[in-house]
Amino acid sequence: MTGLDKFNQILIRPKVMGETAVISIIMPVKNVGAWIQNIKKNLELCADSDFLAEFIFVHAEQEGDRSISLLKSLFNEFSVEEIVIRFAECRQPGIYIAMNRGVDVASSRKLLFLGADDTLAPGFLDALPCIIGSNSPCILADTVILGQPDYGMYDFRKTGGSAGQIHWLLGMPRIHQSIIYDAVYIKAMNIRFNPNLQVTSDYIFTCEVLESMDSGPLVVDSVIAIYNAQGFSSGYRSWQLYIEHINGFAQSRMLRKYLPVVILTRFILIGLKLARIVVRV
């Protein structure tokens, strides 16, 4: 046991008493020692804003992992209390199980998933009025990659795939990042992350949300986050990710009908990569 209740609110000081958080930022935590200061920056950005944000730290408990004690020490140092910080225990291991747990306990209407090594950008606050005022189940926003400030989603979106479906069906990269979901819609449609997948369940999750919608998502032209390119999927080769894409579509009742197209496009992509290798040699 960590000494925390199974679900415990640690700091609650709404800017106006009784005010409800406008967005829940869900962060699975495991071995976060190297990213404590990064987490603090995210908390400070939201605490200094005019909006009440809720941070949900979901801990997949592991023997020897000091994440909870490190976070508690951080919060003890945190002087600004104009934010909601919550812990949620997750007894089963796995990042996607932890993300599902975050969906279940979130109290606000909008959901954003963030890694401990990711950073909210100032544009996040600029985009919030548009985000919280939208009824769209899925909102696409721009992101940049750490160390590559000019590399974002805009170049992919401006090619005509702003509705999202073209992107995910053809396997275009990073469509699963900087996406805000409507919690009421997600829960009503019973859409959850597939814990049987290793690294692409967030991609499949977004595909299912897009497929279930009657129209395309809202697109916000604002950089809201800076992502670490060395995330947990960076150790996988493209062909491994493509195989997981195929498995994910095959396991999804909602997406299974697209499986032949997905298989074809993934093999075409692999073929193009092999062709480039041959040309270089």
pLDDT at 140: 84
pLDDT at 13: 44
The CA–CA distances, whole Å, from 258 to 6, 36, 215, 252 equal 40, 41, 18, 10
pLDDT at 234: 55
Q: Are 146 and 234 in contact (CB under 8 A)?
A: no
> In terms of pTM, does the model score above 0.95?
no
| Superfamily grouping for domain 1-120 | Spore Coat Polysaccharide Biosynthesis Protein SpsA; Chain A (3.90.550.10)
Spatial CB neighbours of 155, under 8 Å, sequence gap ≥ 6: none
Instruction: Answer whether residue 229 shows pLDDT above 50.
Output: yes
Instruction: Answer whether residue 176 shows pLDDT above 80.
Output: no
| Partners of residue 119 on adjacent β-strands | 226
pLDDT at 165: 41
pLDDT bucket at 160, cuts 50 / 70 / 90 = very low
Instruction: Answer whether residue 138 shows pLDDT above 80.
Output: yes
Lowest-pLDDT range of 78-87, 214-223, 225-234, 245-254: 225-234
Higher pLDDT, 162 or 138: 138
pLDDT bucket at 175, cuts 50 / 70 / 90 = very low
pLDDT at 184: 95
pLDDT at 25: 96
| Partners of residue 145 on adjacent β-strands | 148, 227
Higher pLDDT, 40 or 32: 40
pLDDT bucket at 269, cuts 50 / 70 / 90 = confident
pLDDT in tens, 81-133: 578 888 887 778 788 999 999 999 999 999 999 988 889 998 899 899 999 99
pLDDT at 188: 95
Give the angle subtended at the CA of 47 by the CAs of 45 and 52, to the nearest 5°.
115
pLDDT at 64: 65
Residue extents of the structural domains in the chain: 1-120
